Amino acid sequence: MKVLGIETSCDETAAAVYDGERGLLSHALYSQVKLHAVYGGVVPELASRDHVKKLLPLVQQALTEAKVAPKELDGVAYTAGPGLVGALLVGASVARSLAFAWGKPAVGVHHLEGHLLAPMLEATAPEFPFLALLVSGGHTLLAEVRGLGDYRIIGSSLDDAAGEAFDKTAKMLGLPYPGGPALARLADNGKPGGFEFPRPMLDRPGLDFSFSGLKTAVVVAIRGRTLDEQTRADVAYEFQQAVVETLVAKCARAAKQTGLKTLVVAGGVGANRRLRAELQTLGERRGLRVLYPRPEFCTDNAAMIAYAGYRRLAAGEHDDLKIRATARWPL
């Protein structure tokens, strides 16, 4: 079974082809990051317009690289939500129209299901059930992944997502967008102990997160001060440390609570080296296997959508002729 996947939920335009027998055949992606950088964040209208320009050539590229003709496809999967509604509509309309024109079934996929299943694209694929930490610019959640479509959210952020907290703090420190990677680089030169930031919600039971208080603590610490390079690096160091320790402590708690022995980490913040190092230590201490999709599948991509769509179509599901785009859609 061969499935074309399409992703346009935010600022990445992507297409991929997944084959049930041979695995991933191709994936093509265009990132709009430069387009939005001057504004310091994603501008929804510009994102939609750019998806319109880039999507069809990427679909063509993915099919060519996979050496698959449209008639050989068994279906088209697309991200139906959650995300920016205008951006979603571009992918949904193109996917639904292509499927109709080619006489194939279409299936709208939940973006977070894509992220949760992304590690299945790797050679060391986890087996159900596993624990997943999803940390991106839009989401922070811990989930028990028991099987296809069987997900239990056991913790999520009450306010800012982890990536959003990185981006906002980076902005305060005068770093360019996207701030997460820039802040992490700055933190490499930071020294511990210069600042004391809270570890949000660690003093309470439960698996939820909250990062807005930490952001406020940074505001208060630097307000009215002119920071030299070393001090900025020290703030970045302690901020990163506070986020990482919080995430790791909640993962440890979740592993204990569920008894699960495999933790999968997905989303852009999963690229953070400090987080990876501390999760590795946790894994060694607790006998927890920690897995990551390859870096390009940690962030938004169409391979994960093609894969999730393949699993759904293989299970006999597909949509009617409706074009689905749902900005807010619980998993």
* Element holding 102 (H helix, E strand): helix 85-102
Report the DSSP pairing between strands 106-110 and 75-81: parallel
Q: CB 45 → ligand KG4: shortest distance, Å?
A: 18
Find the shortest distance in angstroms from Cβ 134 to ligand KG4. 8
Question: Rounded to an integer, what distance in angstroms lies between the CA atom of residue 246 and that of residue 203?
Answer: 10
Residue 184 lies near ligand KG4 (rule: CB under 6 A): yes
Q: Does 137 help bind ligand KG4 (rule: CB under 6 A)?
A: yes
Given the rule CB under 5 A, which residues bind Zn ion? 136, 300
Binding mask 144-173 for ligand KG4 (x = CB under 6 A): -------------------x--xx------
Confirm or deny that 111 is annotated as ligand binding: yes
Query: Does 231 interact with ligand KG4 (rule: CB under 6 A)?
Result: no
Considering the rule CB under 6 A, would residue 186 count as an interface residue with ligand KG4? no
Pair type for strands 23-31 and 140-147? unpaired
Phi and psi of 26, rounded to 5°? Answer: -165, 155
Close Cβ partners of 259 (under 8 Å, ≥ 6 residues apart): none
Task: Check the annotation: does 318 bind a ligand.
Answer: no
Burial-class residue 53 by CB neighbours within 10 Å (0-12, 13-18, 19+).
Answer: exposed
| Lookup: tokens for 249 | 């402590």
Q: Sheet of 75-81: strands edge to edge?
A: 23-31, 12-19, 2-7, 75-81, 106-110
Among 269, 303, 323, 325, binds ligand KG4 (CB under 6 A): 269
**Which of 177, 155, 270, 163 is closest to 215 using CA atoms?**
163
Contact partner, 269, from Zn ion, ligand KG4, none, Cβ < 5-8 Å per class: ligand KG4
Report the partner that residue 272 touches, choosing among Zn ion, ligand KG4, none (CB closer than 5 to 8 A by kind): ligand KG4
- Contacting residue, 75, 105, 178, 309, with ligand KG4 by CB under 6 A: 178
Q: Are 260 and 144 in contact (CB under 8 A)?
A: yes
Q: CA nearest 29: which of 11, 47, 45?
A: 11
Tell me if 114 contacts ligand KG4 by CB under 6 A.
Answer: no
Q: Which stretch binds ligand KG4 (CB under 6 A): 33-41, 56-64, 149-157, 178-186?
A: 178-186
Answer yes or no: are the C-beta atoms of 309 and 73 closer than 8 Å.
no
Nearer to ligand KG4, 85 or 314 (CB): 85
- Residue from 82, 86, 155, 180 that binds ligand KG4 (CB under 6 A)? 180
CA–CA dist 108, 199 (Å, integer) = 38
To the question of whether residue 189 is assigned a binding role by annotation, the answer is: no
- Contact range with ligand KG4 by CB under 6 A, out of 141-149, 174-182, 228-236, 309-317: 174-182
Out of 113, 144, 234, 300, which residue is the one contacting ligand KG4 (CB under 6 A)? 300
Binding-site annotation, residues for Fe cation = 111, 115, 300
Provide the binding-site residues for ligand KG4, judged by CB under 6 A: 10, 136-138, 163, 166-167, 178-181, 184, 267-269, 271-272, 299-300
Binding-site annotation, residues = 111, 115, 134-138, 167, 180, 272, 300
